Amino acid sequence: VTRGPADIIAAGSDITATTGTGGDVTLPLPRSLSRLHSLPWDRGQRDRPLTRFLPRSIELDEPPLVHTAASLFKEMCYRYREDLMAGIIVAGWDRRKGGQVFAVPMGGMMVRQPFSVGGSGSSYIYGFVDASYKPGMSREECLSFTANALALAMERDGSSGGVIRLAAITEQGVERQVVLGNQLPRFSSP
Protein backbone atom coordinates (compact mmCIF):
# COMPACT_ATOMS: atom_id res chain seq x y z
CA VAL A 1 0.00 0.00 0.00
CA THR A 2 1.56 3.32 -1.10
CA ARG A 3 0.63 6.93 -0.61
CA GLY A 4 1.13 9.16 -3.61
CA PRO A 5 1.45 12.95 -3.78
CA ALA A 6 -1.95 14.58 -4.42
CA ASP A 7 -3.17 12.07 -1.89
CA ILE A 8 -3.60 8.99 -3.94
CA ILE A 9 -3.39 5.62 -2.33
CA ALA A 10 -2.44 2.54 -4.29
CA ALA A 11 -3.25 -0.70 -2.57
CA GLY A 12 -2.73 -4.17 -3.89
CA SER A 13 -2.80 -7.79 -2.91
CA ASP A 14 -2.52 -11.24 -4.36
CA ILE A 15 -5.37 -13.69 -4.11
CA THR A 16 -4.13 -16.95 -2.72
CA ALA A 17 -4.62 -18.60 0.60
CA THR A 18 -3.42 -22.02 1.59
CA THR A 19 -5.42 -24.55 3.49
CA GLY A 20 -3.94 -26.74 6.20
CA THR A 21 -0.37 -26.75 7.37
CA GLY A 22 1.07 -28.42 4.29
CA GLY A 23 0.44 -25.33 2.24
CA ASP A 24 0.17 -27.06 -1.09
CA VAL A 25 -3.40 -26.32 -2.04
CA THR A 26 -4.23 -22.85 -3.24
CA LEU A 27 -7.68 -21.35 -3.32
CA PRO A 28 -8.20 -18.45 -5.67
CA LEU A 29 -10.36 -16.43 -3.29
CA PRO A 30 -12.26 -13.44 -4.62
CA ARG A 31 -10.65 -10.68 -2.62
CA SER A 32 -8.58 -9.81 0.41
CA LEU A 33 -8.97 -6.08 -0.28
CA SER A 34 -12.19 -5.12 1.46
CA ARG A 35 -14.11 -1.91 1.27
CA LEU A 36 -14.84 -0.49 4.71
CA HIS A 37 -16.85 2.51 3.68
CA SER A 38 -16.99 4.37 0.44
CA LEU A 39 -13.47 5.52 1.15
CA PRO A 40 -11.21 3.79 3.74
CA TRP A 41 -9.92 0.41 2.64
CA ASP A 42 -8.57 -2.52 4.55
CA ARG A 43 -6.12 -5.08 3.38
CA GLY A 44 -6.12 -8.03 5.75
CA GLN A 45 -4.05 -11.16 5.71
CA ARG A 46 -4.61 -14.52 7.30
CA ASP A 47 -8.03 -14.88 8.94
CA ARG A 48 -10.24 -14.27 5.95
CA PRO A 49 -13.67 -14.44 7.65
CA LEU A 50 -12.48 -11.66 9.99
CA THR A 51 -12.19 -9.12 7.21
CA ARG A 52 -15.76 -9.79 6.19
CA PHE A 53 -17.20 -9.12 9.64
CA LEU A 54 -15.39 -5.85 10.18
CA PRO A 55 -16.65 -3.56 7.41
CA ARG A 56 -19.50 -1.37 8.66
CA SER A 57 -20.75 2.08 7.84
CA ILE A 58 -20.41 4.91 10.32
CA GLU A 59 -22.92 7.78 10.39
CA LEU A 60 -21.16 11.07 11.10
CA ASP A 61 -21.29 14.59 9.80
CA GLU A 62 -18.48 13.69 7.46
CA PRO A 63 -17.23 10.44 5.99
CA PRO A 64 -15.13 8.47 8.50
CA LEU A 65 -11.50 9.33 9.01
CA VAL A 66 -8.90 6.78 7.96
CA HIS A 67 -7.50 7.05 11.49
CA THR A 68 -10.91 6.12 12.89
CA ALA A 69 -11.23 3.05 10.69
CA ALA A 70 -7.73 1.98 11.62
CA SER A 71 -8.48 2.56 15.31
CA LEU A 72 -11.53 0.31 15.14
CA PHE A 73 -9.36 -2.48 13.78
CA LYS A 74 -6.74 -1.73 16.38
CA GLU A 75 -9.26 -1.94 19.23
CA MET A 76 -10.40 -5.36 18.11
CA CYS A 77 -6.97 -6.70 17.18
CA TYR A 78 -5.47 -5.55 20.49
CA ARG A 79 -8.34 -6.71 22.69
CA TYR A 80 -8.51 -10.17 21.17
CA ARG A 81 -4.83 -10.46 20.40
CA GLU A 82 -4.64 -13.91 22.03
CA ASP A 83 -7.39 -15.27 19.83
CA LEU A 84 -6.81 -13.51 16.53
CA MET A 85 -4.13 -13.89 13.96
CA ALA A 86 -4.42 -11.03 11.52
CA GLY A 87 -2.03 -8.45 10.14
CA ILE A 88 -3.96 -5.47 8.82
CA ILE A 89 -3.20 -2.46 6.67
CA VAL A 90 -5.85 0.27 6.49
CA ALA A 91 -5.55 2.80 3.68
CA GLY A 92 -7.82 5.55 2.49
CA TRP A 93 -8.52 9.20 1.91
CA ASP A 94 -10.23 11.75 4.13
CA ARG A 95 -10.67 15.51 3.97
CA ARG A 96 -8.45 16.30 6.95
CA LYS A 97 -5.19 14.60 6.07
CA GLY A 98 -5.67 13.32 2.53
CA GLY A 99 -4.26 9.92 1.70
CA GLN A 100 -3.07 7.87 4.67
CA VAL A 101 -1.77 4.38 5.36
CA PHE A 102 -2.02 2.77 8.80
CA ALA A 103 -0.47 -0.55 9.78
CA VAL A 104 -2.07 -2.70 12.48
CA PRO A 105 0.29 -5.69 12.73
CA MET A 106 -0.23 -8.74 14.91
CA GLY A 107 -0.24 -7.77 18.54
CA GLY A 108 -2.51 -4.80 17.88
CA MET A 109 -0.33 -1.74 17.72
CA MET A 110 -1.20 0.99 15.22
CA VAL A 111 1.20 3.19 13.31
CA ARG A 112 0.89 5.54 10.36
CA GLN A 113 3.42 4.97 7.56
CA PRO A 114 4.17 6.47 4.15
CA PHE A 115 3.75 2.97 2.76
CA SER A 116 3.35 -0.47 4.25
CA VAL A 117 3.87 -4.11 3.33
CA GLY A 118 2.62 -7.20 5.10
CA GLY A 119 1.71 -10.82 4.77
CA SER A 120 3.73 -13.90 4.03
CA GLY A 121 5.75 -12.74 1.01
CA SER A 122 6.48 -9.34 2.47
CA SER A 123 9.78 -10.40 4.03
CA TYR A 124 11.24 -10.89 0.57
CA ILE A 125 10.49 -7.37 -0.59
CA TYR A 126 11.53 -5.15 2.32
CA GLY A 127 14.81 -4.48 0.52
CA PHE A 128 13.06 -3.70 -2.73
CA VAL A 129 10.55 -1.27 -1.26
CA ASP A 130 13.16 0.46 0.91
CA ALA A 131 15.37 1.00 -2.12
CA SER A 132 12.63 2.01 -4.55
CA TYR A 133 10.20 4.11 -2.58
CA LYS A 134 10.39 7.86 -3.00
CA PRO A 135 8.06 10.30 -1.28
CA GLY A 136 5.82 12.30 -3.63
CA MET A 137 5.35 9.71 -6.36
CA SER A 138 2.61 10.21 -8.92
CA ARG A 139 -0.44 7.96 -9.18
CA GLU A 140 1.10 5.87 -11.95
CA GLU A 141 4.41 5.60 -10.11
CA CYS A 142 2.60 4.41 -6.99
CA LEU A 143 0.58 1.83 -8.87
CA SER A 144 3.63 0.45 -10.62
CA PHE A 145 5.67 0.50 -7.38
CA THR A 146 2.93 -1.54 -5.72
CA ALA A 147 2.52 -3.93 -8.63
CA ASN A 148 6.25 -4.50 -8.94
CA ALA A 149 6.62 -5.13 -5.23
CA LEU A 150 3.81 -7.67 -5.29
CA ALA A 151 5.10 -9.36 -8.41
CA LEU A 152 8.54 -9.81 -6.85
CA ALA A 153 7.01 -11.20 -3.67
CA MET A 154 4.75 -13.56 -5.58
CA GLU A 155 7.72 -14.83 -7.56
CA ARG A 156 9.67 -15.85 -4.47
CA ASP A 157 6.98 -16.75 -1.96
CA GLY A 158 5.34 -20.14 -2.35
CA SER A 159 2.35 -18.94 -0.37
CA SER A 160 1.65 -16.02 -2.72
CA GLY A 161 0.58 -15.95 -6.33
CA GLY A 162 -2.16 -15.69 -8.93
CA VAL A 163 -3.28 -12.21 -9.89
CA ILE A 164 -2.67 -8.75 -8.46
CA ARG A 165 -5.70 -6.75 -7.41
CA LEU A 166 -4.88 -3.05 -7.32
CA ALA A 167 -6.95 -0.20 -5.96
CA ALA A 168 -6.24 3.50 -6.37
CA ILE A 169 -7.97 5.56 -3.67
CA THR A 170 -8.43 9.30 -4.07
CA GLU A 171 -10.84 12.04 -3.09
CA GLN A 172 -13.00 10.89 -5.96
CA GLY A 173 -13.24 7.33 -4.72
CA VAL A 174 -11.74 3.95 -5.47
CA GLU A 175 -10.69 2.56 -8.81
CA ARG A 176 -9.93 -1.14 -8.97
CA GLN A 177 -7.70 -2.90 -11.43
CA VAL A 178 -6.59 -6.45 -11.98
CA VAL A 179 -3.20 -7.52 -13.29
CA LEU A 180 -3.59 -11.07 -14.49
CA GLY A 181 -1.08 -13.84 -13.95
CA ASN A 182 0.26 -13.74 -17.48
CA GLN A 183 0.54 -9.93 -17.45
CA LEU A 184 2.64 -9.65 -14.31
CA PRO A 185 5.80 -7.50 -14.39
CA ARG A 186 8.78 -9.69 -15.15
CA PHE A 187 12.26 -9.50 -13.67
CA SER A 188 15.52 -11.37 -14.09
CA SER A 189 15.34 -15.15 -13.96
CA PRO A 190 17.78 -17.95 -14.79
Partner 1 sequence: MVTGTSVLGVKFDGGVVIAADMLGSYGSLARFRNISRIMKVNDNTVLGASGDYADFQYLKQVIDQMIIDEELLGDGHSYSPKAIHSWLTRAMYSRRSKMNPLWNTVVIGGFYNGESFLGYVDMLGVAYEDPTLATGYGAYLAQPLMREVLEKKPILTKDEARDLIERCMKILYYRDARSFNRYELAIVTEKGVEVEGPLSVETNWDIAHLIRGFE
Quick one: which of 45, 31, 184 has its CA closest to 120? Answer: 45
Among 36, 110, 137, 164, indicate the residue that binds partner 1 (CB under 8 A): 110
Q: Does 106 bind partner 1 (CB under 8 A)?
A: yes
Strand partners, 168: 10, 175
Judging by DSSP bridges, how do beta strands 41-44 and 33-35 pair with one another? antiparallel
- Closest to partner 1 by CB, 126 vs 187, is 126
Among 108, 119, 121, 161, indicate the residue that binds partner 1 (CB under 8 A): 108
d(CA 184, CA 150): 9
- Closest to partner 1 by CB, 39 vs 76, is 76
Q: Does 68 bind partner 1 (CB under 8 A)?
A: no
Among 5, 55, 105, 185, indicate the residue that binds partner 1 (CB under 8 A): 105
Positive or negative: CA dihedral 78, 80, 82, 87:
negative
d(CA 181, CA 66): 31
- Closest to partner 1 by CB, 55 vs 106, is 106
Task: State the amino acid at position 132 in one-letter form.
Answer: S
Closest separation in Å from C-beta 165 to partner 1: 24
- Closest to partner 1 by CB, 107 vs 135, is 107
- Can you list the positions of beta strands (E) in 23-73? 26-28, 33-35, 41-44
The distance of Cα 138 from the centroid of its chain, to the nearest Å, equals 18
Q: Does 81 bind partner 1 (CB under 8 A)?
A: yes
Task: State the amino acid at position 184 in one-letter form.
Answer: L
- Closest to partner 1 by CB, 66 vs 179, is 66
Query: What x-and-dash track marks residues 126-165 binding partner 1 by CB under 8 A?
Result: x---------------------------------------
For residues 60 and 26, the answer to whether their CB atoms sit within 8 Å is: no
Instruction: Kindly list the residues in this chain that would bind partner 1 in the complex (CB under 8 A).
Output: 78, 81, 103, 105-111, 113, 123, 126
